[in-house]
Structure formats: structure tokens, C-alpha cells
Amino acid sequence: MGLHKSQPWSLSAKILIFLVVVIIISGGYTFYNAKGFSYLSNNPEACNNCHVMNDVYANYMSDPHSLKINGKEKATCSDCHLPHGFVSKWIAKAQSGLGHGYAFTFELDDLPVNLSANEKSKKIVQQNCINCHSDYAGNAINPTTHAGNNIQALQCVSCHENVGHRRGF
């Protein structure tokens, strides 16, 4: 009866294991260095982890939405810029985070001085304005005519352009 000798690992298996370890270590380091866990919260300070958000964050801090009541802001960045549904919020947060992470890693030469809202984000902000302020705005306008994909609708930030933070930094 013969003894089975263990086969040595092939060179390609060793290289694959090495690459996986390097990816895990560098990914963990990047996640730690980028304060990755902070993005799992609704804390506005997490949005200021990137220097391109310094002006936006400073402006938000001087806005009434940042005022704290019982230790909690009236509205955080997430309250305005993310859907309020549990699943849709985390999907949007992941898409945004991956997009920002990709841009800050691979498109450094093309980064804007400040981030701007895309069309999807603008629709989310509009819907969140209506969700929070429809009882007030209903006295002046019919907010249902401004909801959804109504392209002709007047957007809340058309008149309230500096609410939350200034635009066009």
C-alpha cells in the first residue's frame, strides 16, 4: 500500500492566492482609511470625509436643516439625498458610494471641484422636499403636480436654491 504524497501547489494557484490576499488587504486598508464604516450611518460628517465636500458641508452647517433638536439634526444629507424606503435607500447609497469610490480612485484628473447632483439625485431631492414639506407647501402650490417624472413641474430648489446648502459652488 502506497502512501499518498500531497501535491505541491501549482504556481498559478500560488499566484491566485497571493492576488486574493493582496486585494483583501488593500481593500480593507482602503475601507479603513476612507472611514468606510461612517458611510453606514446617517451622520452628515461622513459626507464631509472628502475634501470636495468641505464647502457644501460648511454651508449645510449654517443652514436651519442642520440645527439639532434633542441631539438630532432636523435633516441630514441622507434625509434629502436618499430615498426613504429601506431597500431603495441602501441601493442608492451603495450606487453612490461605488460611483464616488471609482471616481476618486480612477478618475482623479477629471474630478470636479465640487460634486453635482445627477438627474436621479435631483428627483430624489424633489420627492423628499415634497415628503417633508407638503403640509406647508400645499398652501401655496399643489405638490402632486410637482411629483414624479413631471418634466414641466417647478422644482422646489428653483425658488429655494440655497436650502440645505448652496448650489453652483
How does pLDDT run across 91-110, given as a tens digit for each residue? 998 888 888 778 777 877 77
**What does the alpha-carbon distance between residue 152 and residue 18 come to, in Å, rounded to a whole number?**
56
Mean pLDDT score of the chain: 80
Q: Is 68 annotated as a binding residue?
A: no
Asked if residues 115 and 52 have their Cβ atoms less than 8 Å apart, the reply is yes
**By percentage, how much of the chain surpasses pLDDT 70?**
82
Residue 19 falls within a domain, yes or no? no
pTM reported for the whole predicted model: 0.69
How does pLDDT run across 147-169, given as a tens digit for each residue? 555 555 677 887 888 888 876 54
Task: Give the residue with greater pLDDT, 52 vs 28.
Answer: 28
Give the cell for residue 57. Answer: 458641508
Q: Is 132 annotated as a binding residue?
A: yes
Residue 10 falls within a domain, yes or no? no
Residue 25 falls within a domain, yes or no? no
Task: Indicate which CATH number applies to the domain containing 123.
Answer: 1.10.3820.10
Residue 15 falls within a domain, yes or no? no
Give the cell for residue 44. Answer: 452628515
Q: Is 146 annotated as a binding residue?
A: no
Q: Is 84 annotated as a binding residue?
A: no
Q: Is 50 annotated as a binding residue?
A: yes
Residue 133 falls within a domain, yes or no? yes
How does pLDDT run across 105-141, given as a tens digit for each residue? 787 777 766 667 788 888 898 888 888 888 777 666 6
Residue 109 falls within a domain, yes or no? yes
Q: Is 160 annotated as a binding residue?
A: yes
Provide the number of structural domains found in the chain.
1
SS (H, E, C) 97-144: HHHHHHHHHHCHHHCCCCCCCCHHHHHHHHHHHHHHHHHHHCCCCCHH
Q: Is 133 annotated as a binding residue?
A: yes
Q: Is 156 annotated as a binding residue?
A: yes
Domain that holds residue 56: 42-142+154-168
Residue 55 falls within a domain, yes or no? yes
Residue 3 falls within a domain, yes or no? no
